[in-house]
Amino acid sequence: MIPAPARLGQKTAKTLYIVFLIFRQSAGNQRFFSLAKLVRRRPVFSVFVSLSAERPTLSHPNHASRFAALWILLVSLLPVTPVLAALPASVDGTPLPTLAPMLRKATPAVVNIAAIGHVEIRQNPLMLDPFFRHFFAVPEQPTRRQTQSLGSGVIVDATKGYILTNNHVIEQADKISVKLRDGRAFDAKLLGTDKASDIALIQIPAENLSALPLADSETLQVGDFVVAIGNPFGLGQTVTSGIVSALGRTNLGIEGYEDFIQTDASINPGNSGGALVNLRGELVGINTAILAPGGGNVGIGFAIPINMADSIMQQLVEHGEVRRGALGITAQDLTPDLARAIGIDRTQGTVIARIQPASPAARGGLKVGDVILEIDGKPVRNSGEVRNRVGLLRVGTRINMTIWRDGRTLERSLTIEPNRLEKLAGKDLHYQLAGATFSALPEDLRQQQDAGILVDSVVPESPAWRASLRKDDIVLSANRRPLHTLEDFRQAVKGQRKLLLNVQRGDGAMFILLQ
């Protein structure tokens, strides 16, 4: 039996085969096989070309007219099949996989956010002197400029209108506008922010909202498929997909508390605050940052796990802020060299480098050099995990800690207490620092840098304000003396008329001369 392509009927196949045999005899073997080389890649011809080479030839006159007629007949018998660029809706009756049904439910819960605010324009101190401006006829200059940022947010409570986003999206905003997928727009109310984790909670007075269900981000695994939804570059709602590339990313220097989900789903500027969802349409993370050496997406994005974001949200709802407790320790990662030096046979954990006097750690029996192995039965891999777990616990929570000390494994129980930081008024340090309040670095910042004094607050138009000090600045040194404690600051400025302060602000640093 002669095989034929599946798309041709049996009669058509037989007819084509006979035509090929006649064509071969008419044209001659050499001419036939020359033409066969041109059409062998065509699936319709391939069966007949191979078969005709094996069957006996027929005796027919070699007439050019018959050659042409047979060729036309052969081409006319070929079925015409349109070529489609798109995939079929189904294969063998089975629908192709698609994310469309899930996204139809998830995308209405992701909103676009526009925040409008103002920032101070840093000026030369001489320009702040009214006599100088009058004497030199210096015109009035603006002291503030308007800023605008675009980002995304996720509706997590449709009844109350709660929306989670990033703190950096709405930071210093005077007005926050929210636009829904259905085109409705609302002015949002800021309920609270947490700069250390980069989470903010806003609320809109809207009805008929759609909220995303929250997943358990602890169950995520590397390789799970995820989808990022946001508003990149202000283009409008956009969906990208990828997988979970890594979990528990810390020590990136992005936030004070880091436990990021890493994904290769494309995240770009404007996606901040948007949703990272699983294939069930459940919220697993809040998109926050990207690693972009060249300024664009390179497939390395980071999201805050929803378990962390939800814990922070509960405190923002209750108090408008996150009231973190502290243990009173400074810890560092356990490296292989450090492990050999102290005699422990493991490479994961964290070593206690310093303990504050009269702190929960001191009262709980911890000592410098102890290695923290577990907290509440969960292994500790690095110092970032200790900071995250303790920083997310409410004040008064009791924890059980497993430590290693001199070859023995010990259990200790400690209670999280309020982070009581000593504060010092600037006027008690130096008259040119009046209006500012200083404090020691909180525990989350001490994990990132060893030296510095935090500017806790600054009264506008005060001497410290006019000297360009701002809230959350970190004074690294005074008169070239590094500062670790408030007493260091007091001794560095005591009896000095001039002050030279080395100040860190965000990712930058500068010197401020007061005289």
Output the six-digit token pair for 259: 């436990």
Helix (H) or strand (E) holding 101: helix 100-106
The catalytically annotated residue of 26, 152, 168, 477 is 168
pLDDT average, residue stretch 205-219: 91
- What pLDDT, on the 0 to 100 scale, is given for residue 199? 92
- Please give the Cα distance from 401 to 396 (Å, whole number): 15
pTM of the model: 0.63
CB 504 within 8 A of CB 476: yes
Instruction: Return the higher-pLDDT residue of 409 and 69.
Output: 409
| Lowest-confidence region among 168-172, 323-327, 503-507 | 323-327
> Per-residue pLDDT for 331 more than 80?
yes
- Please give the Cα distance from 76 to 412 (Å, whole number): 89
pLDDT average, residue stretch 102-114: 91
The catalytically annotated residue of 194, 198, 259, 473 is 198
For 236-335, where are the alpha helices, taking DSSP H only?
Answer: 306-319
Q: Which of 470, 479, 391, 467 is nearest to 438 (CA)?
A: 470
Give Cα separations from 192 to 277, 437, 506 (angstroms): 24, 22, 21
> Per-residue pLDDT for 119 more than 70?
no
> Per-residue pLDDT for 360 more than 70?
yes
C-alpha gyration radius of the chain: 35
Give Cα separations from 71 to 41, 43, 78, 210 (angstroms): 18, 17, 11, 65
pLDDT digits (tens, 9 = 90+) for 174-211: 889 999 988 899 999 999 998 888 899 999 998 889 99
pLDDT average, residue stretch 429-442: 85
> Per-residue pLDDT for 459 more than 90?
no
- What pLDDT, on the 0 to 100 scale, is given for residue 120? 64
CB 424 within 8 A of CB 413: no
> Per-residue pLDDT for 389 more than 60?
yes
pLDDT band of 16, cuts 50, 70, 90: low
Can you tell me which residue has the tokens 């929960």? 360
Residue 272 is a catalytic residue: yes
- What pLDDT, on the 0 to 100 scale, is given for residue 52? 44
| Lowest-confidence region among 315-319, 388-392, 489-493 | 388-392
Percentage of residues in the chain with pLDDT exceeding 70? 72
Instruction: Please report, as a single letter, which amino acid is at residue 331.
Output: A
> Per-residue pLDDT for 112 more than 70?
yes
Q: Which of 410, 405, 378 is nearest to 392 (CA)?
A: 378
Kindly report the average pLDDT of the chain as a whole number. 78
> Per-residue pLDDT for 305 more than 90?
yes
Can you tell me which residue has the tokens 């965000």? 506
pLDDT band of 11, cuts 50, 70, 90: low
Residues 247, 248, 254, 255: what is their CA dihedral angle, to the nearest 10 degrees? 130
pLDDT digits (tens, 9 = 90+) for 60-83: 444 545 555 555 555 555 555 554
Sort 33 into a burial class: Cβ within 10 Å, 0-12 / 13-18 / 19+: middle
> Per-residue pLDDT for 142 more than 70?
no
pLDDT band of 1, cuts 50, 70, 90: very low
> Per-residue pLDDT for 296 more than 70?
no
CB 435 within 8 A of CB 462: yes
**Could you please report the per-residue DSSP string of 389-409?**
HHHTSPTT-EEEEEEEETTEE
Helix (H) or strand (E) holding 100: helix 100-106
Half-sphere exposure of 166 (CA within 13 A, CB side): 28
- What pLDDT, on the 0 to 100 scale, is given for residue 431? 86
> Per-residue pLDDT for 18 more than 80?
no
Cross-sheet strand order for the sheet of 199-203: 185-187, 173-179, 110-120, 144-157, 162-165, 199-203, 189-194
Residue 129 is a catalytic residue: no
Output the six-digit token pair for 497: 């008329």
Give Cα separations from 337 to 104, 340, 346, 374, 447 (angstroms): 53, 5, 11, 21, 20
3-class secondary structure, 511: strand
> Per-residue pLDDT for 308 more than 70?
yes
Q: What sign results for the dihedral spanned by CA atoms 455, 456, 461, 464?
A: negative
- Please give the Cα distance from 132 to 53 (Å, whole number): 103
Q: Which residues contact 375 (CB under 8 A, 6 or more apart)?
A: 385, 386, 389, 390, 399, 400, 401, 402
The catalytically annotated residue of 272, 359, 383, 477 is 272
- What pLDDT, on the 0 to 100 scale, is given for residue 17? 54
pLDDT average, residue stretch 216-227: 91
CB 276 within 8 A of CB 307: no
Instruction: Please report, as a single letter, which amino acid is at residue 68.
Output: A
pLDDT average, residue stretch 87-98: 67
Quote the distance between the C-alpha of residue 204 and its chain's center: 24
pLDDT band of 356, cuts 50, 70, 90: confident
- What pLDDT, on the 0 to 100 scale, is given for residue 23? 52
Percentage of residues in the chain with pLDDT exceeding 90? 19
- What pLDDT, on the 0 to 100 scale, is given for residue 41? 45
- What pLDDT, on the 0 to 100 scale, is given for residue 22? 54
- What pLDDT, on the 0 to 100 scale, is given for residue 55? 43
Residue 168 is a catalytic residue: yes
- What pLDDT, on the 0 to 100 scale, is given for residue 74? 53
pLDDT band of 226, cuts 50, 70, 90: very high
> Per-residue pLDDT for 84 more than 50?
no
For 28-88, where are the alpha helices, taking DSSP H only?
Answer: 29-39, 43-52, 64-77
CB 110 within 8 A of CB 239: no
> Per-residue pLDDT for 222 more than 90?
yes
> Per-residue pLDDT for 24 more than 80?
no
Output the six-digit token pair for 196: 């250390």
> Per-residue pLDDT for 144 more than 70?
no
